[in-house]
Amino acid sequence: MTQNDSPPPDPARIRRARRRGVLLVVLAAASFSISAAFAKTIGTGIPVAEVIFFRNFFALIPILPVIISAGGLAALRMRSPGSHVLRMIFGMMGMVGSFYGYVHLPLVTVTALGFTMPLFLTLLAIPILGEKVGWRRWLAVLVGFCGVLLMVRPEQGTTDTQWLALGLCLLGALAWALAMITIRKMGEAGESGVAIVFWFAFFSSILAGIFMIPVWVWPSTTQWALLAGIGLVSAIAQIMMTNAYRTGEASLLAPFEYSAIIWTTALGAMIWAEMPDAWDFLGILVLVGAGLYIWYREIKLGVKR
């Protein structure tokens, strides 16, 4: 072995890293589901703007140790302030859709609709990133939206509020796709991950705080605990997800994010007796299958490139 040669990879170490990555992704998905359950428990008692404010405010607490370990204030340097503003706007739109949906729709429905994000991401990659999308991914996107139609099919008794919630969930998924594209461009421009996470939480707290003032409702003791839980659990989940992708391959870990469907189905059934019917399950299976196929094609095309 020459001095420039690197030692061969340790198979045992790779297996441990993979197991750790999968465990972290599954735990992160479960944590995000618990945070969603907290939001649903709060219900309409606290305005959405107030929930979003405390979600981001309390999320800053677990982020502080990460900032310190990343080098302190130097790690928060912004290279492109305009990109941070765009990421904040898109992220806030996504949160509005999610939190409004949690209150008015079954947890699993909101979670499943959130997984339309890869479909929107595929469509947006064409005009924004200049990517070419082949017929297989086009077909997968079409099939995925057919799954959405199975889930949101017109039913007798569906209220205007529920239709609004469905629309906001889909709009939120579109916004999350735009946020992902923005984050990708920020990473290419040299923005650090900790800066992207911190400034999003910081600026989102300010913006949500402004909208919160006219509709402020003083939380009860239980509501204070739930609001703190939403922020802390979401931040911890995000940190776990980030650490997972740092230690494991995205091609291995991405499918395990769909375990959130299982967690939210279980929580919804146990706490609110929310049980998807046969058409809902079929729509979820079609949507998840389309998302996984798009993920598979991305990985396969990435290997070829």
191-235 pLDDT tens trace? 887 888 889 899 999 999 999 999 999 999 999 999 999 999 998
Tokens of residue 104, six digits: 């008015």
Q: Which amino acid type is present at position 296?
A: Y
Q: How far is residue 44's CA from residue 216's CA, in Å, rounded to a whole number?
A: 13
Average pLDDT over residues 113-121: 89
With a CB cutoff of 8 Å and minimum separation 6, the contacts of 230 are 35, 38, 39, 51, 54, 55, 58
pLDDT band at 5 (very low <50, low <70, confident <90, very high): low
User: Percentage of the chain with pLDDT > 90?
Assistant: 47
- Cβ-defined contacts of 220-224 (< 8 Å, 24+): 223/42, 223/45, 223/46
Q: Domain coordinates of the chain in residue numbers? A: 21-304
- Position 186 scores a pLDDT of 84
Evaluated on CA atoms 36, 39, 40, 41, the torsion sign reads positive
pLDDT band at 305 (very low <50, low <70, confident <90, very high): very low
Residue 2 has pLDDT above 90, yes or no: no
Q: Which amino acid type is present at position 289?
A: G
228-263 pLDDT tens trace? 999 999 989 888 887 787 666 666 777 888 999 999
- Position 34 scores a pLDDT of 96
Residue length, the chain? Answer: 305
∠ CA 101-106-107 to the nearest 5 degrees?
Answer: 75
Q: How far is residue 84's CA from residue 196's CA, in Å, rounded to a whole number?
A: 7
Q: How far is residue 289's CA from residue 295's CA, in Å, rounded to a whole number?
A: 10
Using DSSP's 3-state secondary structure scheme, residue 160 falls into helix
pLDDT band at 303 (very low <50, low <70, confident <90, very high): very low
Nearest to 238 by CA among 295, 188, 184, 198: 198
Residue 7 has pLDDT above 70, yes or no: no
